[in-house]
Amino acid sequence: MPTTRDKVEQWSLAYYILKHWVDLGFHFYFRTTVSGLKSLPRNKTLIFAPNHQNALMDALAILCVKTWQPVFLARADIFKKPLLSKILTFIKIMPVYRMRDGYENLQRNDEIFNKTIDVLKNQNGLVILPEGNHGDLKRLRPLKKGVARIALQALEADSSLDIMIVPVGLDYTHYSRVGSGLHVRFGEAFSVKPYMNVYSENPAKAYNMLISHLEKGIKAEMIDIEEEKYYSVYEVLINAFAKQVAEKRVVKQSHASIVDLQQEMIKGINRLKEKNNDDFLLLAADALEYKMLLNRRGIPPGFFPLSLLQKLGLFPFALALLVTLPLFVASYINIIVPIAVAKLFSNKFEDKQFISSVRFVVGLVLSLLMLIIQTTIFAIVTKSLLYSAIYAVAFVASFYLFFEWKRWARVFGNRVNIVRHSLRGGNKMKRLSELHMSLHKQIMEILV
C-alpha cells in the first residue's frame, strides 16, 4: 500500500480494490450522471478543473466517474497529522502550501511541483479545484492562479508534454441528502501550449489569460448565477420551473437536460434585466413573494402545483409505503451503526458543505467494518456459507432500501402537505396559484 509521495503517480492494486467500494458508495450517495466523458482527448496530459461547492465530494465526483487513478492537489493544513497524511497520500492527494501555512513551508512546494511533473508525464490526470475553497452558492468564485502556474511551469520544465486543461461543471440537486442528483459535465479541453509565448515574456499576463479562458470554460458547464443581489430570484425560478419548461418543450427530464434549461433560463432572465429593468423588478418581486409563500408552507420549489394524476395517486402511494414499512424498519436496524455514527460526526461541523463528506467517509468505513463483523457473526451462528453470502448481499441492499424508502416518503410528505394546504384554501393559496401561473408564463416568454 503506497503511502509515500514518491510513488503517488504509480498504479496501485490496493487503491484499485478500495476504489470499487468507494465508487459503489458514491453512486449510491449521489445519483450521478455524466456528460462529455467520451469526448476527452486521448493520449494527452490532462488537468481537470471543476467548480468547488461540496468539499471532498467534488473530488470524488471526478474520481468515481471512471476506472482511473488521478492525483489531486489539496490545501496543506489537512496533512498535519502523520497518520492522516499517509491516508491522504494513499488516496493520491498531495498538499499545496500557502503563505498561511508558514513561510518556511513554501519551499516544500518545489518537491510537490517535481512530483506533479511525474504525474503529468504518467498521464494519470491531475485534478485541481481552482477556486481554492468551496462555497454553497451556485456561482463560480474567482479562480486562483495555481492551476495556471502549475500547467505553464510544467510545460516549461518539459516541453514534450501536451498539457490540456479540462473545465468541469458539477451540479448537485442537494448537497448532503442521500439519493440526491449530481451531474458531472466535462467541457471542451484546451491546450496550454498557445500561452507559452506570452509566458516566456510576461508570466503574470499568461496566467491571467489562461485563467480567463478556464473561467469561461467552467461557467459554460455549470449553473452560474452571477447576480448577487437577486440570487434568490434566479434560484427559485430555475428550481421551480425548469421541469415544467421541459414538459412544455417535451424534453426528457434528465439532470443533464435540466441543467441546460436552467442555464438557458439564467441567460433569459439576464437579458430581461439588461433590456427592461422595470419588467425584471416586477418579475423579481413576484418570484420573492412566491418563494416566501412556498417557504411558509414548507413546500419545496418544483413540487407545486400537483397534477391530477399525482393527487389521485396519493392513496396507492400511501399503501405502497405502508406495505414496505417493515422492510424499511428491518433495513434500518441492520445498518443503524454506520448511519447513526456518520450522522453524529457530521453534526459537529458548522460548515454545512462538509456534511456529505463526513457522512460519506465515516459511513463508508463503518459500513465495510460492520459488513465484515455482522456477516462473520451470522456465519458463526448459522454455520452456512450460502446463507452468510445472502446476508452480506442483504446488508448492502439494506442501505438502498432504507434511503430509497426515505426518499419516497419525503416525496409523499411534500405532496400531502400541498393537498392539506389546498384543502384549507384561503387567499394565500389562491395567491400562490396565481403567482405560479404568472411566473410560468413570464419564464416561457423570456425563453422565446
Closest CA to 72 of 54, 96, 53: 96
Burial code (b: 16+ CB inside 10 Å, e: under 16) for 350-389 equals eeebbbbbbbbbbbbebbeebbeebbeebbeeeeeeeebe
Say if residues 342 and 362 touch (Cβ distance below 8 Å): yes
Predicted local distance difference test score (pLDDT) of residue 448? 73
Q: State the Cα angle at 436 between 237 and 316, rounded to 5°.
A: 100
> In the block, which residue shows the cell 417535451?
250
CA separation, residue 195 to residues 159, 168, 446 (Å): 13, 20, 39
How much is the pTM?
0.93
CB-based contacts of 195: which residues, under 8 Å, 6+ apart?
152, 206, 209, 210
Tens of each residue's pLDDT in the chain, 448 residues: 455 677 788 888 989 999 999 999 999 999 999 999 999 998 899 999 999 999 889 999 999 999 999 999 887 777 777 777 787 888 888 888 766 666 566 667 777 888 888 899 888 899 999 998 888 899 999 999 989 999 999 999 999 999 999 999 999 999 999 999 999 999 999 999 999 999 999 999 999 999 999 999 999 999 999 999 999 999 999 999 999 999 999 888 899 999 999 999 999 999 999 999 999 999 999 999 999 999 999 999 999 999 999 999 999 999 999 999 999 999 999 999 999 999 999 998 888 888 999 999 999 999 999 999 999 999 999 999 999 999 999 999 999 999 999 999 999 999 999 999 999 888 999 999 999 999 999 999 999 7
Predicted local distance difference test score (pLDDT) of residue 97? 76
CB-based contacts of 412: which residues, under 8 Å, 6+ apart?
314, 317, 318, 321
Closest CA to 237 of 190, 273, 204: 273
User: 113: phi > 0 → left, psi -120 to 50 → alpha, else beta; which?
Assistant: alpha
Instruction: List the beta bridge partners of residue 190.
Output: 165
CB-based contacts of 213: which residues, under 8 Å, 6+ apart?
190
CB-based contacts of 148: which residues, under 8 Å, 6+ apart?
206, 207, 208, 210, 211, 214
Question: How would you class 15 by CB atoms within 10 Å of its CB: exposed for 0-12, middle for 13-18, buried for 19 or more?
Answer: middle
pLDDT tens digits along 54-90: 988 999 999 999 999 999 988 777 777 777 778 788 8
Burial code (b: 16+ CB inside 10 Å, e: under 16) for 183-210 equals bbbbbebbebeebeebbeeebeebbebb
